[in-house]
Amino acid sequence: MELSIVLGAYQFIGFHVCKYLLDQGIEVLGVDWTEDSPDSDPIIEEKQMEIGRNSNFTYLQLNQLEANAGTSKTTLFISWYDVIKARNSMDKGVKNTIQNLINKFHERAERPRIVLLYPLGCGDEEKISTADQIIYLPTIYGPWQHENMVFEQGIRSNSAAKLKSALEDEYTLDAIYINDLLDSFENMLSQAEKKIIARSSLEDQWALAARELFDTPMIDEVAPGQIGTKEATGYVYHVKNNMTPKQGIERQKQHHKRQELLRRWESR
């Protein structure tokens, strides 16, 4: 890949994809829909410090993307996973803006390859079906997971009502630690199939991770079945689970603890 563009650069999946690509020595244009600046959002500030100092990274506003989408040698990664999971913190018009951009790029004679990272269990993929490749993801967890997702809710010890709401939107049939996903990323991208479903090589990964945070009876009630979940069809790619659920949840806990300490220190 000559150039990669990541839409969702300061979100969860998008941020980790940026880091992964930069570690491979690839030039990355990071795009995000947040209007907050690093000066007003400490989370963005920390993420910017982690990737923004890399000479191969350049940040663009969402309204600059259409004019900087590159050529056929460019790959545009759109983290629709983050669009869905960050629904409480994004403007309602952002979804339509991104969908319109995908449609415009698809109509171009000279256009980037479009790769969508999409959450399993959702039913809106017809809106983004013009992408060149769609990688369907189960629950992904690890540092910077969206705060309205179940594992992060448990780590933050939020109320039962918030947890119940998070469970209603959670994909509980599988879970993959973010680093394990990225270890398989290049191989997934090299597949000829348009639709790729990322699956754990081991069973019960969501339930095992959840049991590190919650009582067993509650987890048994939710997993492994999930009524009403829309399953995608496509080529199944089995991701090797190098990180155990216990290790993965512990790393996510440690990251949250570090964030809390930093916030306390900054508020003094």
pLDDT at 17 over 70: yes
Decide: 237 and 117 in contact? Cβ < 8 Å.
no
pTM: 0.90
Q: Residue 65, Cα to own-chain centre: how many angstroms?
A: 19
Query: Which position has the token pair 């689970």?
Result: 241
Nearest to 175 by CA among 149, 148, 144: 149
Class of domain 3-146+175-202+232-266: alpha beta
Q: What is the 3-state secondary structure (H, E, C) of 209-236?
A: HHCCCCCHHHHHHHCCCCCCCECCCCEE
pLDDT of residue 90: 56
Complete DSSP assignment for 171-217: --S-EEEHHHHHHTHHHHHT-S-SEEEEEESSS-HHHHHHTTTS-HH
- Taking 3-state DSSP, the helix, strand and coil percentages for the chain, each rounded to the nearest 5, stand at 45, 20, 35
Class of residue 126 by CB neighbours under 10 A (exposed 0-12, middle 13-18, buried 19+): exposed
pLDDT tens for each residue of 92-146: 677 788 888 878 887 777 888 999 999 998 766 555 667 889 999 999 999 999 9
- Give residue 230's pLDDT band: very low, low, confident or very high (50, 70, 90): low
pLDDT tens for each residue of 134-156: 999 999 999 999 988 999 999 99
